[in-house]
């Protein structure tokens, strides 16, 4: 028998009110935790995919679209850029590393990226099976693509024009052959089909009847060769001020800064997140109010109990502690349930999004900010219990018993 037993017995004696308070708090906490988990993992994922890429260069158009299409591969490109201009920029003295990308086709919704082995090196990709491509039409597939399609080394498939499951027409003439499967890296590579950029040229060289794909470079005129985008790494910090302006003013291309565009994207998403967060805070606040009202009403029903406890020898501080404990117990239960709820919702959301092949979100991780949410919930419980506890502290024993 102690304060906890008594407090717990009172909460159990009013199961509906207790359940309502715990649920309200849990919903608020759960919503915020879900938001934290989702935005944290989304930002982490996007930051990782853009790491080491100082500038993305594409055809004139929206910089945001260039970033979304060339780095995250979740949008269509703005168009193509000329091979000659791309070569010039790649050789610019302020460019340390340039990775060309030739896009346009996909297989079962997974984008086919024509590039150079430097692209794999950039993300530190390792092979789970097979080898890297050595000739046009040889492909290496990401771990998720392999898992989803069941393809292994030796499999053959036709690319489909566009991005998406239904897609456009199939390129029947030139099948890709899988020569390697990448190990899972958690990066954008997991859901890409990778090949040399010459493969993309072969597939799209519609005015030529390509018999020998190995010397495609010689069969195309320089004006016919095209890339979709270039991923650049600067050689010097000075390049930030010079290179984007140079590209935008002196070439037919458009420069897009991943850092700037992702920050802009997050601030756009952030508005929605802020609205949801405010909504969750309102939930927590109303939970606090509900706890306050429940304890305050209970206090009226229990004023004789409190007076009797005083006659049995309880000091006022004990009654204060009793009410505070009840508020805290509700808060702890609400916070604990909310944490579980938030993580379960994140995991469920992760499974739903996985089907849409967008981003991976898991509930089996946690972020430091969750501690703040828990602290907020516990604080709410304590604050809500303060006034009732103070009234319990001030119980007028003789007056209450005389009226009773």
The footprint of other proteins (CB under 8 A) covers 1-2, 5-6, 9-10, 12-13, 304-305, 307-316, 318, 397-398, 401-402, 404
Looking at the Cβ atoms of 150 and 404, the one nearer to other proteins is 404
Helix (H, G, I), strand (E, B) or coil at 188: helix
Nearer to other proteins, 241 or 402 (CB): 402
11 or 38: CB nearest other proteins: 11
In the complex with other proteins, the residue whose CB is nearer, 13 or 118, is 13
To other proteins, the closest distance from the beta carbon of 333 in angstroms equals 17
Q: How far apart are alpha carbons 186 and 324 in whole angstroms?
A: 46
Distance in Å, CB of 294 to other proteins, minimum: 14
Q: How far is the CB of 306 from other proteins (least distance, A)?
A: 10
β-pairing verdict for 110-115 and 192-196: parallel
Give the tokens for residue 364.
């089996």
What's phi and psi for 44, nearest 5 deg?
-60, -45
Q: Which is nearer to other proteins, 304 or 372 (CB)?
A: 304
Identify how many contiguous H helices and E strands the chain contains and give both numbers: 14, 13
Using only C-alpha atoms, what is the Rg of the chain? 31
User: What's the closest the beta carbon of residue 400 comes to other proteins, in angstroms?
Assistant: 10
- The gap between the terminal CA atoms of the chain, to the nearest Å, is 26
Residue 210 neighbours by CB distance under 10 Å: 17
19 within 8 A of 287, measured Cβ to Cβ: no
Closest approach, Cβ 401 to other proteins, in A, equals 6
Q: How far is the CB of 336 from other proteins (least distance, A)?
A: 23
Nearer to other proteins, 167 or 316 (CB): 316
The H or E element spanning position 233 is: strand 229-234
Which tokens belong to 214? 């190995």
């Amino acid at each position: 028998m102690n304060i906890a037993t008594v407090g717990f017995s009172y909460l159990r004696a009013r199961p509906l009110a207790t359940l309502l308070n715990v649920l309200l708090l849990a919903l608020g906490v759960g919503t915020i935790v879900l938001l934290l988990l989702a935005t944290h993992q989304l930002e982490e994922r996007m930051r990782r995919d853009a790491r080491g890429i100082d500038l993305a260069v594409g055809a004139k158009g929206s910089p945001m679209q260039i970033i979304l299409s060339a780095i995250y591969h979740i949008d269509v490109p703005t168009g193509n850029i000329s091979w000659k201009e791309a070569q010039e920029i790649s050789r610019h003295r302020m460019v340390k590393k340039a990775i060309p990308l030739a896009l346009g086709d996909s297989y079962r919704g997974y984008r086919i990226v024509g590039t150079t082995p430097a692209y794999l090196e950039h993300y530190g990709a390792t092979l789970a099976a097979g080898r890297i491509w050595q000739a046009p039409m040889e492909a290496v597939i990401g771990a998720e693509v392999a898992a989803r399609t069941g393809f292994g080394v030796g499999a053959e498939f036709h690319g489909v024009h566009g991005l998406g499951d239904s897609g456009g027409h199939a390129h029947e003439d030139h099948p890709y052959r899988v020569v390697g499967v990448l190990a899972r890296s958690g990066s954008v590579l997991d859901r890409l089909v990778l090949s040399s950029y010459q493969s993309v040229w072969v597939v799209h060289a519609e005015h030529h009847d390509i018999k020998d794909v190995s010397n495609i470079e010689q069969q195309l005129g320089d004006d016919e060769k095209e890339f979709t985008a270039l991923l650049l790494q600067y050689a010097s910090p000075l390049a930030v001020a010079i290179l984007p302006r140079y590209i935008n003013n002196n070439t037919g291309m458009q420069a897009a800064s991943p850092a700037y565009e992702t920050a802009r994207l997050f601030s756009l998403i952030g508005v929605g997140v802020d609205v949801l967060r405010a909504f969750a805070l309102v939930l927590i606040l109303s939970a606090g109010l509900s706890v306050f009202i429940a304890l305050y009403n209970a206090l009226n029903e229990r004023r004789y109990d409190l007076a009797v406890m005083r006659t049995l020898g309880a000091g006022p501080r004990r009654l204060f502690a009793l009410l505070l404990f009840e508020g805290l117990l509700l808060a702890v239960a609400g916070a604990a349930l909310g944490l579980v709820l938030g993580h379960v919702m994140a995991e469920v959301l992760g499974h739903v999004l996985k089907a849409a092949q967008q981003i991976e979100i898991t509930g089996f991780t946690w972020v430091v900010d969750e501690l703040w949410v828990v602290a907020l919930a516990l604080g709410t419980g304590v604050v809500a219990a303060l006034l009732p506890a103070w009234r319990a502290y001030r119980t007028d024993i003789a007056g209450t018993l005389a009226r009773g």
